[in-house]
Amino acid sequence: MSEQRDPAEELPAPAPASASSPAAPGAKPPPSRERLQQARRKWLRTILLTGGVTGAALSGFLPLVYARTKRLRPPGALDEKDFLASCIKCGQCVQVCPVQAIKLADLVDGFGVGTPYIDAREQACDFSCDAVQCILACPTGSLVYKKPSFLGTRKGARLAAAPILKAKEKDAEPTLNLAERIGVARLTRPESCLAVKGQGFKGQTRGASFKGRLRYMEVDRWKPIKVADHPYDIPECDLCVRECPVKGAISIETVFAPDGSKRKSPVIHEPCVGCGVCEMVCPVEPTCIVVEAREVWNT
Amino acid sequence: MNQFLKNRFFDQIAVMFGREAKKPVAISPVAQQFHTMKRATNKERLAAMIREHHATGKKVHTWRNRRWAVLILANLLFTVSFWLDIQVLEGALTASRFIGFHLIDLNSALQVMLAHKHIIVNLVIGTGTVLVLWLLLGGRTFCSWVCPYHLLAEWAENIHLWLVKQKLVTDQPMDRRLRTGSWLVFAALALATGYTVFEAISPTGIVSRALIYGPGLALLWVLALLFFEVFFSRRAWCRYACPIGLTYGVVGIFSPVRVKYSLAECFHEGDCRKVCLVPHVLDTVIKGRAVDVEVPLGPDCTRCGLCVDTCPTGSLKFEVKGLSKLM
């Protein structure tokens, strides 16, 4: 940016105004030609710097208007436009997340420098904080338990009932304080799905080097462990259903295939909040099931 | 505050918004006496006195070192709070929580309020706390004692000054009204677009987040700014562009913490103006300009203390207004 301003310095300065305007009697002598030229150059530089700074700022903003890269925001996020308006980019949501699911966007990501997002395949939100801590940490109300009344709710975004967290099912208060979904899971590649193919799964899902973590109730309720440290051996793959933290959000059902034959398949239900754990644990590469960010439940 | 200082007080507010510093209209009789006396001083005797002063004194960096220590510690506290999970200062400079108490940067808060047009309680609490904090500590104290970009820019400035000395580059000054302009432009952009446009390019936010959450490509913009400051215009961002500085400058108008200038001992050598980020607040040290024997510096002063370190006669000192009365 800065280099562009340099050639402007070489621009020939127009003839000084002092040559044409005679000085009034008793007034100060007119400034020298050199001084006037200096002043004019200073102005030119100032205007160019203004342009440079404004241009840079807009270059950070325009992608948001046009590209609209859909990214999963943390739970409780306002609708994208309101979210971008209110997020102060402090990363407090990043800091409280026990599984570090939340990351901050960079310059080239094109959805707001410093705004938080979740890459579910790398590390999904498994609600192992139980209380949706990121919402609690947000100082500006970009992440909210309950939307202020003047902000509208997209149809199908609101959850029919407070989601029941499987991990808290036996607690006095089994529900999660979350009113809207952040997305909806969708089986995008049923042809590769192990459950559809009737295959089992043995070993570490996502391989030994995968860094993602998950809370396993049978291991430790308060300490999420690496998915790689929890190998599986299951006759028929149902990892997405087994590890889904929300009760009744997904199940293996018998469905009709396009050719009319019956087969088993994961089916997503209304309580799906879009946390992305199914996407993270799917052992197939690339994943068969993904969370569609900002998607609503429409049936 | 007498009439002369009152005039200067309002004058310096206008200067902060970008007006050039002008010769004072009225000077107090006592100060005038000093000016006359100094004009009458034998030049050779004065030169001898200055030489004597400089022979004994060497370069002092007391305040600069204190300030750098505070700046580095403050930013380090953010980083270690996250990395070691000690939860003392969570968040980044734009918004954070100090042992649970909300702190929200005034300019960032303003941008969010303008963009979102809805203010929640935590935002009010955090902004209020920071407002009171910097009202007490000196407004732009934030710039020189906390802002991480300020430190990088100081180092870049040293390179720039070295290059100037080698006659490889010349400083290209700009019109200071630009900062007021950019404050207005970014406020208007936030209001109109509903997005905190300034935050995307704020080097303060970018560097702060990079220190805490790891570096990113956004640092390239910061590098471009530093490059511009090294080769073209000395401290351009802080001097001519950054709206954060103006926001805190306004807060500093009523702050009790400031640098005070005493006319009596000053040799008017002007070394303080050479090291200053905002030399227009130091116009009072120019021969014949001081309106009174003691003149507090204006609100645009970042209270960095470089002038205090540089002054060979102790004519510039930190002062907390009213503290001497209390003690």
pTM value is: 0.88
Shortest Cα–Cα distance, A180 to chain B (Å):
19
pLDDT score recorded for residue A50: 84
What is the average per-residue pLDDT within B65-93? 93
Cβ-Cβ contacts under 8 Å, B194 against chain A: 81, 84-85
Q: Are residues B13 and B140 in the same domain?
A: no
What is the average per-residue pLDDT within B33-50? 85
CB-CB contact of A299 with A160 (8 Å): no
**Of the ranges A5-14, A23-32, A133-142, which one carries the lowest mean pLDDT score?**
A5-14
Q: Which residues contact A203 (CB under 8 A, 6 or more apart)?
A: A231, A232, A233
Q: What is the pLDDT of residues A166-186, one digit of tens each?
A: 999 999 999 999 999 999 999
List the 52-71 stretch of A: residues with Cβ below 8 A of B: 53-54, 56-58, 60-61, 64
Q: Are residues B202 and B104 in the same domain?
A: yes
> Can you say how many angstroms the Cα of residue B162 is from the centroid of all Cα atoms in its chain?
22
**A55 — pLDDT class (breaks 50, 70, 90):** confident
The domain boundary, picked from B187, B215, B250, lies at B250
Contact A61 B195 (CB under 8 A): yes
Mean pLDDT of chain B: 91
Length of chain A: 299
Q: Are residues B103 and B34 in the same domain?
A: no
Burial class (CB in 10 A: 0-12, 13-18, 19+), A30: middle
Positive or negative, the CA dihedral B319, B321, B323, B325 is positive
The domain boundary, picked from B227, B250, B273, lies at B250
- The number of domains in chain B is 2
How many CB atoms are closer than 10 A to CB A120?
26
What is the average per-residue pLDDT within A116-144? 94
Assess whether pLDDT exceeds 50 at residue A46: yes
**B56 — pLDDT class (breaks 50, 70, 90):** low
Assess whether pLDDT exceeds 90 at residue B10: yes
Shortest Cα–Cα distance, B323 to chain A (Å):
35
**A77 — pLDDT class (breaks 50, 70, 90):** very high
pLDDT score recorded for residue A29: 73
Look up the domain containing B322 and give its range.
3-58+262-326
User: Among all residues of chain A, which has the CA nearest to that of B186?
Assistant: A54
> Regarding predicted confidence, which is higher, A107 or B224?
B224
Cβ-Cβ contacts under 8 Å, B224 against chain A: 1-2
Q: Are residues B88 and B168 in the same domain?
A: yes
Question: Is B255 among the domain residues?
Answer: no
For B259, the 3-state DSSP assignment is strand
Contact A54 B172 (CB under 8 A): no
Q: Are residues B213 and B322 in the same domain?
A: no
pLDDT score recorded for residue B200: 86
DSSP strand pairing (A201-203 vs A232-234): antiparallel
Best mutation site among A64, A90, A92, A145 for testing chain B: the one with the most B CBs within 10 Å?
Answer: A90
Question: Is B111 among the domain residues?
Answer: yes
Which tokens belong to B3?
A: 């009439």
pLDDT score recorded for residue B119: 86
Which value, in Å, is the radius of gyration of the alpha carbons in chain B? Answer: 21
Q: Are residues B241 and B130 in the same domain?
A: yes
Question: Is B256 among the domain residues?
Answer: no
Phi, psi for B234 (deg, rounded to 5): -60, 125
**Start-end of H helices in chain A:** 6-9, 33-66, 80-86, 92-96, 133-137, 194-197, 239-243, 277-281
Q: What is the pLDDT of residues B173-220, one digit of tens each?
A: 889 999 999 999 999 999 998 888 898 889 999 999 999 999 988 899
Q: Are residues B168 and B213 in the same domain?
A: yes
Assess whether pLDDT exceeds 70 at residue A192: yes
Q: Are residues B230 and B287 in the same domain?
A: no
Put simply, whether A33 touches B (Cβ < 8 Å) is: no
Q: Are residues B97 and B206 in the same domain?
A: yes
Question: Is B68 among the domain residues?
Answer: yes
Shortest Cα–Cα distance, A3 to chain B (Å):
8
Q: Are residues B31 and B138 in the same domain?
A: no
> Regarding predicted confidence, which is higher, A209 or A58?
A209
Burial class (CB in 10 A: 0-12, 13-18, 19+), A252: middle
The DSSP string of A222-258 is S--EEGGGS-EEESS--HHHHH-SBTTSEEEEEEE-T
Contact A6 B232 (CB under 8 A): yes
Put simply, whether A5 touches B (Cβ < 8 Å) is: yes
The domain boundary, picked from B250, B277, B297, lies at B250
Query: How far is B243 from A2, CA to CA, in rounded Å?
Result: 19
Contact A107 B221 (CB under 8 A): yes
Question: Is B257 among the domain residues?
Answer: no
User: Do you find a cis peptide bond into A286, omega within 30 degrees of 0?
Assistant: yes
Q: Are residues B18 and B135 in the same domain?
A: no
Contact A106 B182 (CB under 8 A): no
Assess whether pLDDT exceeds 60 at residue B110: yes
pLDDT score recorded for residue B230: 95
Mean pLDDT of chain A: 86
Shortest Cα–Cα distance, A183 to chain B (Å):
23
Question: Is B294 among the domain residues?
Answer: yes
Would you report the helix, strand and coil content of chain B in percent, each value rounded to 5? 60, 10, 30
Q: Are residues B313 and B299 in the same domain?
A: yes
What is the average per-residue pLDDT within B76-80? 94
